[in-house]
Amino acid sequence: MYLVILLFSGFLTAVLLSGLVYVEATWRGIPPSGRLFGVGFVGLGSLGGFLVPYRFTAELVYLYFQVFKGSGVASHPSEFLVVSLVTGTGISIGLALLYVATSRLWYSRIQTGIGTG
């Protein structure tokens, strides 16, 4: 059930963030190939971001319960699920922001002719 929840959340987040990236890229006049790259990068990265907690469960349990929280006892049965969802959401938002920031630099250099040889 844990994996199903992560995949469902990852899919919803990927669709939402990919849509936002597409709208933003269209608004800025990025060519269709750049828009497709952005949607694919953010969509697949978001889905992968929600699989990271599943793959690294032991490491995330140690990091949260021993390092951040300081005790190995969960205060609520769904506490680790929330930690996993927050981790996946953070990775997804980070990838979307990375794409937006780098695409702004990349396409501004192309439009001004800087670094095109």
The pLDDT-based confidence of 15 (bands split at 50, 70, 90) is: very high
Instruction: Give the closest residue to 102 by CA, choosing from 32, 30, 1.
Output: 30
Q: What is the pLDDT of residue 29?
A: 85
Query: Is 101 part of any domain?
Result: yes
E strand or H helix at 110? helix 79-112
How many structural domains are present in the chain? Answer: 1
In a domain, 12, yes or no: yes
Is 117 within the bounds of a domain? no
Contact 87, 52 (CB under 8 A): yes
Domain assignment of residue 47, yes or no: yes
Q: What is the domain extent for residue 7?
A: 2-112
Residue 113: which region, alpha, beta or left (left: phi > 0; alpha: psi -120 to 50)? left
Kindly report the number of other CB atoms within 10 A of residue 17's CB atom. Answer: 23
% of residues, the chain, pLDDT over 70? 91
pTM for the whole structure: 0.81
Six-digit token string for 32: 């269709």
**Residue 39 covered by a domain:** yes
User: Within 13 Å and on the Cβ side, how many CA atoms surround 60?
Assistant: 18
With respect to residue 89, please indicate whether it lies within any of the assigned structural domains: yes
